[in-house]
Amino acid sequence: MSDLAGDARTWSPDAQEAVRLLAVSALVEGRDRAEVATLFKVSVRAVDNWWARWRAGG
């Protein structure tokens, strides 16, 4: 994941999906939303959206 620098919207679709899955896994393990956002260099809002989608079954 070292190639994931800068704006996440510029990453490849595969890289974006990998980050989403890792972020959701971190949330499932009990990590804080802000910590996950910082860890993956995305906004808390993005983490919230991913979490909501995952919880809805998506």
pLDDT tens string, the chain, 58 residues long: the values are: 545 567 778 889 999 999 999 999 999 999 999 999 999 989 999 999 999 999 999 7
Q: Which residues contact 39 (CB under 8 A, 6 or more apart)?
A: 23, 26, 31
Q: Output the pLDDT for position 5.
A: 63
Q: Output the pLDDT for position 7.
A: 78
For tokens 């919230």, what's the residue? 48
Amino acid letter at 56? A
pTM for the whole thing?
0.81
